[in-house]
């Protein structure tokens, strides 16, 4: 039987950051929406009911927040990559999908990126 991974979803997180190519984007905080899907084997957690057998959601959220609220980047592609690196450092996470959207750039709609890392 082929091995499949399970998924933990953390969607709709919004944090203030100072990122963008234009100086005004880095000088004034703007809202960034972040979605993270963490892929890992959750069968042990499902049987044991133990935190040690899953990814720590609170820690993952703190890592995302630290990247968004941290040092300015020009590109949201860079932010997504930094977040992916942080999430992959968590115990048992084998792959991650990170989506980031800049909510305050346009009067309608919003630009974003979605990356996948293993």
Task: From first to last of the 118 residues of the chain, give the pLDDT tens digit.
Answer: 567 899 999 999 999 999 999 999 999 999 999 999 999 999 988 899 898 888 899 999 999 999 999 999 999 999 999 999 999 998 889 999 999 999 999 999 999 999 999 9
Domain residues for the domain of 32 are 11-39+55-103
Structure tokens at 67: 């990247």
Count of structural domains within the chain: 1
Does 113 map to a domain? no
Does 115 map to a domain? no
pLDDT of 91 reads 80
Kindly report the CATH number assigned to the domain that includes residue 21: 3.30.1130.10
62 is catalytic: no
Catalytic residue, from 22, 28, 63, 102: name it: 102
pLDDT of 51 reads 86
pLDDT of 115 reads 98
pLDDT of 1 reads 57
Does 6 map to a domain? no
Does 84 map to a domain? yes
Which residues lie closer than 8 Å to 87 by C-beta, 6 or more apart? Answer: 36, 38, 60, 63, 64, 93, 96, 98
């Amino acid at each position: 039987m082929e091995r499949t991974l399970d998924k933990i979803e953390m969607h709709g997180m919004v944090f203030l950051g100072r990122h963008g190519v234009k100086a005004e984007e880095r000088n004034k905080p703007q809202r960034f929406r972040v979605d993270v899907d963490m892929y890992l084997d959750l069968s042990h957690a499902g049987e044991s009911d133990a935190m040690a057998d899953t990814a720590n959601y609170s820690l993952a959220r703190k890592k995302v927040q630290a990247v968004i609220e941290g040092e300015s980047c020009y590109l949201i592609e860079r932010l997504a990559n930094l977040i992916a690196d942080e999430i992959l450092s968590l115990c048992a996470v084998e792959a991650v999908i990170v989506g980031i959207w800049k909510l305050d750039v346009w009067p309608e709609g919003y630009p974003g990126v979605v990356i996948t890392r293993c």
